[in-house]
Amino acid sequence: MNEYDDIFEAEKEEKAETPFDRDSWIDRKRAERAEAYALLDTATEELTSDGEKFKDYLNTQSHFDRYSVSNAILIAYQHPGATKVADFNTWKEEDVSVNKGEKGFILFEPGSEFTREDGSTGFSVNTKKVFDISQTSNAEARITRRKPDERTALKALVSSAPCRVTLIEQKIEGDAKYSIDKNTIFITKGLSADRIFKSLSREISAAKIIQRGSEGDVAFNAECSSFILCERYGFDTGDFNFDDVKRHYLGMDNKEIRRDLGDIRGIANEVSQDMSRHIEEADKARKARDNEAR
């Protein structure tokens, strides 16, 4: 054999592909899902046993409004403070590199469609490893939500109310209160922007929950919705207190807890969507006025 013939033999060996083992792949995916669900249960229990950790979850849900409750819980538990997450390949497609040594964290993602034995359609669930933007070469570009000015946000909030909103001179405990009998939210005059937004978003959330006939603790869920909305629109959340979160979820299993959190997420997103429509209409009207003035 020529002294260089081994080069070609080595190259041939390197190119040999290992046959795809479907059974091993299925077992690996099943194990990854089981690990993710176990982590989700641990995170659910911890986040609903500690007021500050629960705030981390609500803050995460305020930033990731399109993410499921389960994924918001996993983000808050594994990487609190995250603002934008993506897997390694997605960051690469955006010409952003994950910093060396960074550890990814696990989220769920929808898998393929399948037909159940009863003929109904279902979707499998997969897991993926993601990285927050703070773990990448683009860390300085942390995502912040574009927020309207205070007056615009307050007007949009009032427009989202499913009932009348009336100012009164009388001081109200908690600054505002929804009256079921009069289908009206009464709010004390002369409050600061932060106090108006907090109290009004709470009572609008309560009104929507009551009008829906939803089960659960209206006061607690409305307070959680208000926190999400305050964070989302840049109003102060310093005096929110969720030290009673453990008592609130006492006796619920993890699925019941996540279902309740899903109701809270739904109310906050409903108010936010109503507000967004008002803000978009206000922007269009302002642009039209600007164009006419030119």
SS3 109: strand
Compute φ and ψ for 230, nearest 5 degrees: -60, -45
pTM of the model: 0.86
In angstroms, rounded to a whole number, what is the distance separating the alpha carbons of residues 126 and 113?
A: 12
Co-location of 180 and 127 in the same domain: no
Cα 137 from Cα 212, distance rounded (Å): 46
Which residue, of 141, 172, 195, is where some domain finishes?
Answer: 141
Structural domain that includes position 167: 150-293
Residues 289 and 172 occupy one common structural domain: yes
Domain count across the chain:
2
- The pLDDT score that the predictor gives to residue 4 is 67
pLDDT of residue 12: 57
Tens of pLDDT along 29-56? 788 899 999 999 999 999 999 999 999 9
- With CA atoms as reference, report the closest residue to 132 among 227, 67, 224, 69: 67
In a domain, residue 14? The reply is no
Vertex 104: Cα angle to 76 and 92 (nearest 5)? 120
pLDDT at 285: 79
How far apart are the C-alpha atoms of 267 and 220, rounded to whole Å? Answer: 12
Query: In a 3-state reduction of DSSP, which class is residue 184?
Result: strand
Same domain, residue pair 129 and 223: no
pLDDT tens by residue, the chain, 294 residues = 566 666 656 555 555 566 766 667 667 778 889 999 999 999 999 999 999 999 999 999 999 999 999 999 999 999 999 999 999 999 999 999 999 999 999 999 987 676 777 777 767 789 999 999 999 998 777 666 678 899 999 999 999 999 999 999 999 999 999 999 999 999 999 999 999 999 999 999 999 999 988 777 999 999 999 999 999 999 999 999 999 999 999 999 999 999 999 999 999 999 999 999 999 988 887 777 777 766
Clarify whether residues 122 and 189 are in a common domain: no
Specify if 9 maps to a domain: no
- The residue whose two tokens read 């939803």 is 214
- One domain for residues 110 and 214: no
d(CA 123, CA 115): 8
Question: Do 45 and 74 reside in the same domain of the chain?
Answer: yes
What is the reported pLDDT for 147? 81
Q: Give domain status of residue 115, yes or no.
A: yes
On whether both 208 and 273 belong to a single domain, the answer is yes
